Structure 1
């Protein structure tokens, strides 16, 4: 209805302006007089039609011309009145026709929108695979439909990922609960149980409880990082990394690993708890998936306009095509869950990197192990705007085998790097 009224109003205004211009042009007064002579003395120019201005009319024909002019003025006024009346009637008729045509055209224009609206209202979580699939020329409506189809595609992928995440989380939680139930049942039905057996079962129960607590903490961290950042403060990546390495010293000794660090100041804006968790997860992953007498190298610094942290480690060989899968939730090398790892470490790294607008790069070493580098935007004088909630993960770009990370193009001198230089 609004489109029809708009079309009709525009037509009426345009028609009225056109009639006004026509009326003014036709009603313009003239100052010329035409005099027709017949016969004459035969002198050149005596016979025929002559055109005079009002001041040049000969006296002999002035009175007659004046009378004719008055008659012409009255006739012209009558014709203009008739023209105005007929034009008004024509404008009214065409306005009605224009409103009818506007209604039809508006319906045809809005028909694809109604189709899009009906289809989108029908789509739910059960049939999110459906698409609008609008056909036709590449106009604005086609672009709108394609945009909605792209949105539905991303929504379907997000729902599938959410379903897999919930299923994996339920499986990870159900397994220790089943073991706990079995241990408690064993303690109840074993009439010959001793204090030592009870103590052994309680120790296993305590270990399972600690693993579940770590799993829940990781899930909460993953969920919190995916909501975005509420605050940003100036951080030094080298200071956070040194704190993490200091706390991981006992873990490195327990695994008999050599840890080498080259930490250089690198300022950024971010959440200190989340960035420290990112570095801790990288170091923990490098130590947990390693080999006896292996090594871990941690480097921080500024390069290529970004503050970066890179963690390299020895370990089992990883297919280059399987590196990206490690950054998905509950993905582990060999799918072993008895070592306390739940496969959430690198997925949390990916979410925290996305919350800080950082780039994430990784590649598998040819000799075994992994190299992961996260590049944060370098700290400027003013903090960036708060990060809005998002639904996408950090951009992941796998390295080419044994090639330097893509976001970094300038040479970097970190001093002696015997371990990484000899191994990469």
Structure 2
């Protein structure tokens, strides 16, 4: 349906105004019809009485035949009634025709008045769209009468002010956390490595040091994942042309050793899939998908299928893998932060030590990065086990900053 005929507030106000005008006009016509009908009835009765009196006087003075005079009087009375009925029909016809014409004019006038009254609301909507697409620093600052629309604009400005302070605080927290959390872990890793490199370090201490390094590495990955998750949830600051096929090819090259060690065959069908976005975040999205597909797989005859391409103005990346069977009702929950399959389900190495397990942020980051790029993700379990994960990102971001309207499925974090 076109925008002109969309059921907007302006259309509804115009229709309500036109209906109220037509209803008031019909009531006025009905009242006028009753009034004129009674007035004409009384006028016809007076004329008939006057004519009868004149006829009686004429008969008395001239001696003419009274029967003919009565016939003439009755003919005049019928003519008076016919004139009354014709006048009433003409009046109702012209009144309805005039009401229809004036009703159309009133509808047009109502459309103009409704547009003028709702113009401040359009300003609120336009500002909200710009804020969603750019930054939270802009304000509506609506001027005019102190009415409901100005109250709405002021409330929206107050909400933007609170959100702006909140996001500024979040950005400062991310920056501080990046320094405060990484620094001690880097120091710990350096100290442990120095201790392990000492030639006289006992074997038991070396085993303890190796375990501590694994724990330290896992904490570094956890902090890195949390920081990326916080960054991907924020507004994008960089928009570059990125090809998902190139990112997938690079990630496959980097994951080749891990896939061979896990005895997982990687199959690719990569066609150009250019999109616009943050190259670092998109690279992390592709890496997380392929890394999870390799990690959660079978110990024998496992495979990962990677496909890229474009369709309907979107670049897409599809990653499918063999692996443990996942119930359909658990797929959406696996996409929440810190949600993952049990340790025994990481089938490439079911005896892996807990410190080497993922933090459960992989596909949470994938979903956040996709949404930040106005895209969506969808996951469905394969009948033979494993998942098929499909990511779609617009080739060009929407001009108004609106998110992709395509229905989305909540993804699962393997």
Give the structure-1-normalised TM-score: 0.46
Computing the radius of gyration from Cα coordinates, the structure with the larger value is 1
Give the structure-2-normalised TM-score: 0.47
